[in-house]
Chain A
Amino acid sequence: MAMFDIGKRGFSGNQETKGEEKDLLRDPDGFKGGVAQPPAVGMARHRDAAIIGPSIHIEGTLRGEEDLVIEGRVSGTVKLQGHCLTVGTHGQISANIYAHTVVVDGTVEGDLFGAERVVIKKSANITGNITSPRVSLEEGARFKGSIEMDAQAVEASMGLQKSKSSAQGPAKAHTETAAPANASSPSAGEKAGEPDKSASSGKVGGSVG
């Protein structure tokens, strides 16, 4: 089993940080000169967010009930229903991502589903489809794929996601048959993402292989 470490960083705590993790905490969005700054609109809430560091590689389904910053490599599926996922500048994701808000600074190959918003920063490199009612892209970002902005189509996709997240186990998840609004459906992504059996619900984590 691959080793992985997920460090949860309290915002006001005096935790000592070392090496790469320390770099993460120097993110100007959340930390400026050691003084707390409110998150800007459309930015990830790094405050209290769990962090997957640059040396971590996770394969499988990553579920969580808290905000998450990924600076490492993740392949499979990422599900943070109701929370914010930030793919940091070092982050390399080969997975479909489902979250309340998705902020991408790094590299993503896969489909992005943002119930509230998807924010693509100028350093991002994305190949995949985006489904979200609000999408913003900074000039200079590299993106190849489609952006579904039709409110009805987005709602249909997100509705499907909600019902999936309430499913209690892989058997039920695999029996979902609701028709998605477009070709880049979450169900298709699910199949591509595989293996749901390894998911560890409730807490960010889950590594197989």
Chain B
Amino acid sequence: MPLVSPSRAGAAGETLSSAAPNQDAYPCKLLHQALEPLMKGERRLLLDLGDAHEQTIEFFTGLPVRLGIASLTTDLLMLDPQGDEESLQARMETLLTPEMLSDCHLVMAWELLNYLQPRVITALMSRLAELLPRGALVHGFVAYSMKALPQTPRALVLCPDGGLQALPGQEPATLKLRGYPSGELQRLMPSFYAARTILLGDGTQEYLFVRR
């Protein structure tokens, strides 16, 4: 089903599927699914856990959206996975505030989960579960058959066709992939379930998690 964007300024009737497809971009069917109400004109509150990027902001311009930019990648990667649970939780409470997440419909984690240690994933998802309303979504990618990843998550941006594209200048893939099978992910985030997953051709799996 085409995603219609009736309210986008100067582009009434625009559909994501009608925009020229970007060959280098992830197709992201589950992200499209999560954004469908927004593209139909329903107000949505979104939170991007990563940094602010020109193209992503441009994508949402003219839509009935409040886009939060948490810019948390570096902070989350620096969390000590060996630290005690209380300090991990306290840090998570500082990083993710109720103002960012209350009433939020969709959290965009993208490649972040690949880079977090299991205890950090649990702490992150527990904090999200505390603040997100029931039914809220978390979108992300989990690598399953790559040998290595770049040292830090790539900067992904939304293209006009709704695909996700990595900005140029990414590091070579030298970080050994830890890999999270879906069963382990489920164990690490008991307050969420994977509504749908799609295997992508490059050894990545697209996930849409739902807050129980």
Contact = CB atoms under 8 A, between A and B. Distances in A.
A6 interface: no
A143 B102 CA distance: 20
Interface in A29-43: none
Interface residues of B, number: 24
A144 B71 contact: yes
A71 interface: no
A148 B58 contact: no
Contacts of B100: 146
Given A138-B54, A139-B167, A144 B62 contact: no
Contacts of A184: 99
B99 A147 contact: no
B43, B57, B68 — which one has the most chain A CB atoms within 10 A of its CB? B57
Contacts of B7: 151
B71 A147 contact: no
Contacts of B70: 144
Nearest to B43: A150
A143 B51 CA distance: 7
Interface in A167-209: 182-184
Contacts, number: 66
Interface string B53-89: 1100110111111111111000000000000000000
A87 to B, nearest CB: 17
B57 A135 contact: yes
Contacts of A148: 66
Nearest to B155: A139
A145 interface: yes
A163 B149 CA distance: 53
Contact of A146 (B62, B63, B64, B66): B66
Nearest to B68: A146
B52 interface: yes
A182 B57 CA distance: 19
Nearest to B72: A144
A153 B69 CA distance: 18
Contact of B57 (A136, A150, A151, A183): A136
A8 interface: no
Given A146-B67, A182-B66, A139 B53 contact: yes
Nearest to A135: B57
Interface string B89-116: 0000000000110100000000000000
Interface in B112-128: none
B62 A143 contact: no
A144 B48 CA distance: 10
A56 interface: no
B53 A145 contact: no
Contact of A150 (B52, B54, B64): B64
A130 to B, nearest CB: 9
Contact of A149 (B52, B60, B69, B102): B60
B58 A136 contact: yes
17 contacts: A136-B54, A136-B57, A138-B54, A139-B54, A143-B51, A144-B52, A146-B100, A147-B57, A147-B67, A147-B68, A149-B64, A150-B43, A150-B64, A151-B64, A153-B43, A153-B66, A184-B99
Given A138-B54, A146-B68, 15 more contacts: A135-B61, A136-B61, A137-B53, A139-B167, A142-B52, A143-B51, A143-B71, A145-B69, A146-B100, A147-B69, A148-B66, A149-B64, A149-B67, A151-B62, A182-B66
Interface of A: 134-139, 141-153, 182-184
